[in-house]
Amino acid sequence: MVDTTLAPNAMAVPRPVRPTVTGEDWLVRLCLLLLGLYLVLTLVLPLYTLLAKSLQDKEGQFVGLANFARYFADPAMLQSFGNTIFVSAIGTAITLLMAFLYAYALTRTCMKGRGLFRAIALIPLLAPSLLPGLALVYLFGNQGIFKSLLFGHEIYGPIGIVMGEVFFAFPHALIILVTALSVADARLYEAAESLRARPARIFMTVTLSGCRYGLVSAGLVVFTLIFTDFGVPKVIGGSYNVLATDVYRQVIGQFNFQMGAVVGLLLLLPAVLSFAVDRIIQRKQVALLSARAVPLQPKPRVLIDRLFFCLVAAMAGFLLLVLGMALFGSLVKLWPYNLSLTLKWYDFARAGTDGWGPYFNSLRMAALVAVIGTAIIFCGAYLVEKTRGAGRLRALLHLLAMIPLAVPGIVLGLSYIFFFNAPNNPLNFIYGTMTVLVVNTICHFYTVGHLTAITALKQVDNEFESVAASLKVPLYRTFWRVTVPVCLPAILDISVYLFVNAMTTVSAVVFLYSADTKLMSINAINTDDAGNTASACAMGMTIVATSAVLKGLHSLIMRRVERRTQAWRKR
Amino acid sequence: MKNWISRRKLALMGAAVLGTAASLFATTTPTLADDVVLKVYTALEEEQMPIYKEAFEKANPGIVIEWQRDSTGVISARLLAEKDNRQADIVWGLAATSLMVLDKEGMLESYRPVGFDQIKDDFKDLRSGWPTWVGMDAWASAICFNTVEAEKLGLPKPTSWKDLTNPVYKDQIVMPNPGSSGTGFLTVSAWLQLFGDKGGWTYMTALHDNIKTYLHSGSKPCKAVGAGEYPIGISFAYPGVKLINDGAPVEVILPKEGIGWDMEATAIMKGTKQLAAAQKLADFAASADANKLYNDSYQVLARKDVAATLPANYPADEDKLMISPNNFYEMANRRQAILDEWQKSFGSKDAPK
């Protein structure tokens, strides 16, 4: 019956059983490839053009590891490396502890004023790094109001760096931890209680283990942020050298792109580490919110609620104090010698040549980044987390998404010049436009958005997709009808996160803006450079106010959204 | 086969989506009149820029300046990074030492502006008759001294570099890190020229004991002194003068042994499409009229024929104290070696001693 001449390869050789690849799977793969292409164009290739310089001499000749050898021969280098690890480790420990307590209070207690505290916690995100730097000097510097609290130590150095970094990293950790803690299966707690587990034990085995993925992500994010940040050490680090200030010294002080690339490459280490840890944890993570879960509703516990209220109030008080000091700095005539108040620093037309133009540029860029960035990041996270097949590609995309966090702004900004301004790059028409600023900023803040989206998505049981698939509901409909509404709070969080960061970012875009796309945040730095510190403070406060208004709108919308799409979280 | 077709269809769809996205993104470029737009990169102070722009555009109708301003380090790094596809037509107001780095990369156009013979020799690129850069004005290192804080601490007013090594100033002085700041480097290079190589390093070793911290910017030491954070900062005159004008209890001291200096300069970028307009700007930047404008902020000017007046609260005798000749090219060649040596000796102030 079977003719051997007929399709021998199809019939004679038994093929391993493979799941049929449907048109939908092809669509998913295409989307994954598009996302990959996007990340390659906006992240991998630009970084490659710069980091390849670490293997070249100034004339562009390949020199192998000579630059690395030279860098490691510098005795100050090992010290920078040690310093960086030291402040990053301490800063991460403090930030995680504070952010966890804060997030726990917001999500698992019934203390008063949770909405307000949640808003206050985001202050550090709204403020350009100039403001906390200055405020810490005004608070704890040699003329500082609270100098005595440091018991003779001084703010310039590791103490100042750790304080500044904790302030700066706190909301990043909080966003992830709140997302992780806000979903829990009440049945687990009921089970634990009926087994007569003590509260401490329940906390360890249910609460902590339920949010361990969030904790580890937050820890990695914070560690990487502190490891690569250069704004805080530059302002308040004195001569306590860290790797990020080494990049600054090489690139801005000595125009040595090759050595800058060497240090930039070293700064990528935590991202690689993060990825490895992330893979290990991910294998153990199970969806918290199975389709049968009963959402946890915190019950009032008088003593604990009050205790957390005091704790959170103290932390929020410190954040407000820093902001208040910056506000004060924008209103005094001459710190610290003439403390009478004035509004003249808010008259921006007087301070420079640009008046309010940069402010509107900043608004426009932040809006574009928020809308486009959120769409790309959330869809990307969905593709990575929720689709089947193409496992290696998805793992690779996840790795790529982790990288931006570890790339210092200077490195990213210069990479973009080298890549997008290259005469033979067909994309070079976007150089010097608003587009390049938007693309660069999305890339710069990709990771935290990605992790927030992943954390939110992980809590949604994969059964939704399986059920939908067996009901022959197309994937995009499940995405649109189930995933997006369920994750809407996280999506809004991501867009607000992108907006406020786009308003404050400096380190990368400073290399990319042009005369008609000058940004407010850059203007503030330039104004401070020119010696008008108070006016720079005023610009910073304008950014804070704008972002705060947006954040207020966000809260209002959230309230409506929660009523409409999050009712399932309550019983 | 069927799969292949659907893949191709999908690819086409994807391309269509991308294309739409790209067209949404494309920003509309403002329509220009017949004016020539010159892209001018600069590190001038913000407050000087509108005045300079207006003066030039008034004298040269039909040419419009579009500024790109940043601090010296950032704008220089950006110019260098854009080497393969230059965006700037001309640089007006950037440290000559930075321009020399660009020159070494072959990025500058030779041009001899009108009135070149009126430029002082110290402010010229004298290697050939066709200079690549022309000086505008000079700034020199200076000591910023906070009188209120010094009185609290009982510190005498220093008048010379040698004074600063007096143990009474232990941990009271800040200065820019020469690896991060041009001002830091010009100060170090002046010490090496004033005291000789050996004497210079001996001096810095003695000074190091009194240094509280090395900062990453040239103006920051003076601003920190103005805010009362430290009593003494090594910096340059401009930020100090500005602080005095704002009412801070600061004095600007020019050490009597002599002071290191650098100049702001102009250079046309090689390959500019607006060469004629750029040359007009180079002519203007070297003119007596422009020098009079520079005089509002700086005392020492490039032109011989402009009688400089002392800007308000500016320290006297900067011109007499500036070291001359200042061996820019020699220092530029030795820069890496000097910075390596400096980094090895002093780069880690916080190292346990």
Note whether B103 and B133 are within 8 A (CB): yes
- Fold classification of A355-565 is MetI-like fold (1.10.3720)
Half-sphere CA count of A292, side-chain side, radius 13 A? 2
Nearest residue in B to A247, CA atom = B180
Q: In sequence order, which ranges of A237-356 are alpha helices (DSSP H)?
A: 243-248, 257-267, 269-284, 302-331, 348-351
Question: Of B84, B230, B339, which has the smallest distance from its Cβ to A142's Cβ?
Answer: B230
User: Does one domain contain both B179 and B148?
Assistant: yes
User: Does one domain contain both B300 and B289?
Assistant: yes
User: Does one domain contain both B253 and B305?
Assistant: no
User: Does one domain contain both B73 and B178?
Assistant: no
Note whether A252 and A93 are within 8 A (CB): no
User: Does one domain contain both B281 and B146?
Assistant: no
> How far, in Å, are A6, B71, B235, B258 from residue B175 at the CA level?
86, 18, 7, 17
Half-sphere CA count of B229, side-chain side, radius 13 A? 27
Radius of gyration of chain A (CA): 25
Class of residue B37 by CB neighbours under 10 A (exposed 0-12, middle 13-18, buried 19+) = middle
> How far, in Å, are B55, B66, B207 from residue A515 at the CA level?
19, 6, 42
User: Does one domain contain both B157 and B231?
Assistant: yes
In a domain, B229, yes or no: yes
B171 touches chain A (CB under 8 A): no
User: Does one domain contain both B132 and B146?
Assistant: no
In a domain, B12, yes or no: no
Same fold, A63-285+297-337 and A355-565: yes
User: Does one domain contain both B146 and B75?
Assistant: no
Query: Cβ B216–A249 below 8 Å, yes or no?
Result: yes
Domain boundaries, chain A: 63-285+297-337, 355-565
For testing the chain B interface, which of A369, A529, A535 should be mutated: the one with the most B CBs within 10 Å? A529
According to the model, what pLDDT value does residue B31 have? 41
In a domain, B43, yes or no: yes
B344 touches chain A (CB under 8 A): yes
CB interface of B with A, residues 83-142, below 8 Å: 84-85, 87, 101
User: Does one domain contain both B81 and B230?
Assistant: no
- The distance from CA B198 to its chain's CA centroid, rounded to whole angstroms, is 28
Q: Which tokens in the block code for residue A288?
A: 């918290």
Cβ-proximal residues to A571 (8 Å cutoff; 6+ apart), any chain: A186, A294, A295, A297
In a domain, B106, yes or no: yes
In a domain, B275, yes or no: yes
How many domains are contained in chain B?
Answer: 2
Question: Of A30, A251, A257, which has the smallest distance from its Cβ to B14's Cβ?
Answer: A30
Query: Cβ A529–B7 below 8 Å, yes or no?
Result: no
B256 touches chain A (CB under 8 A): no
In a domain, B87, yes or no: yes
Q: Which residue has the tokens 């103005």?
A: B226
Query: Cβ A142–B49 below 8 Å, yes or no?
Result: no
Query: Cβ B247–A338 below 8 Å, yes or no?
Result: yes
In a domain, B18, yes or no: no
Contact residues, chain B, for A530 at CB < 8 Å:
45-47
Q: Domain containing B203 — which CATH number?
A: 3.40.190.10
Per-residue model confidence as pLDDT tens for chain B (353 residues): 344 444 455 455 455 445 444 444 444 444 455 789 999 999 998 888 999 999 999 999 999 999 998 889 889 999 999 999 999 999 999 999 999 999 999 999 999 999 999 999 999 988 888 899 999 999 999 999 999 999 999 999 999 999 999 999 999 999 999 988 989 999 999 999 999 999 999 999 999 999 999 988 899 999 999 999 999 999 999 999 999 998 999 999 999 999 999 999 999 999 999 999 999 999 999 999 999 999 999 999 999 999 889 999 999 999 999 998 888 888 888 988 999 899 888 876 544 33
- Return the HEC string of chain B: CHHHHHHHHHHHHHHHHHHHHHHHHCCCCCCCCCCEEEEEEECCCCCCHHHHHHHHHHHCCCEEEEEEECCHHHHHHHHHHCHHHCCCCEEEEEEHHHHHHHHHCCCEECCCCCCHHHECHHHECCCCCCCCCEEEEEEEEEEEEEHHHHHHHCCCCCCCCHHHHCHHHCCCEEEECCCCCHHHHHHHHHHHHHHHHHHHHHHHHHHHCCEEEEECCCCHHHHHHHCCCCCEEEEEHHHHHHHHHHCCCEEEECCCCCECEEEEEEEEECCCCCHHHHHHHHHHHCCHHHHHHHCCCCCCECECCCCCCCCCCCCCCHHHHECCCCCHHHHHHHHHHHHHHHHHHHCCCCCCC
Class of domain A63-285+297-337: mainly alpha
User: Does one domain contain both B208 and B339?
Assistant: yes
According to the model, what pLDDT value does residue A37 have? 96
Q: A–B: how many Cβ contacts below 8 A? A: 165
Q: Which tokens in the block code for residue A562?
A: 């929660």
Query: Cβ B7–A30 below 8 Å, yes or no?
Result: yes
Backbone angles phi, psi at B47, to 5 degrees: -75, -20
Domain coverage including residue B276: 36-138+262-315
Backbone angles phi, psi at B48, to 5 degrees: -80, -30
Per-residue model confidence as pLDDT tens for chain A (571 residues): 444 444 444 445 566 666 667 778 888 889 999 999 999 999 999 999 988 999 998 888 899 899 999 888 877 778 888 999 999 999 999 999 999 999 999 999 999 999 889 889 988 989 988 898 889 988 998 888 888 888 888 888 899 999 999 999 999 899 889 988 887 778 888 888 888 888 888 888 888 888 888 898 899 889 988 998 888 888 888 888 899 888 888 888 889 999 889 988 888 888 788 778 877 877 766 665 566 777 788 888 899 999 999 999 999 999 999 999 999 999 998 888 888 899 888 888 765 557 888 999 999 999 999 999 999 999 999 999 888 777 889 989 998 998 998 888 888 998 999 999 999 999 989 998 999 999 999 999 999 899 889 988 987 878 888 888 888 888 888 888 888 988 898 899 899 999 999 999 988 898 899 888 999 998 888 888 777 788 889 999 999 999 999 988 988 888 888 787 777 666 5
User: Does one domain contain both B215 and B132?
Assistant: no
In a domain, B16, yes or no: no
User: Does one domain contain both B198 and B338?
Assistant: yes
Query: Cβ B350–A239 below 8 Å, yes or no?
Result: yes
Cβ-proximal residues to B16 (8 Å cutoff; 6+ apart), any chain: none
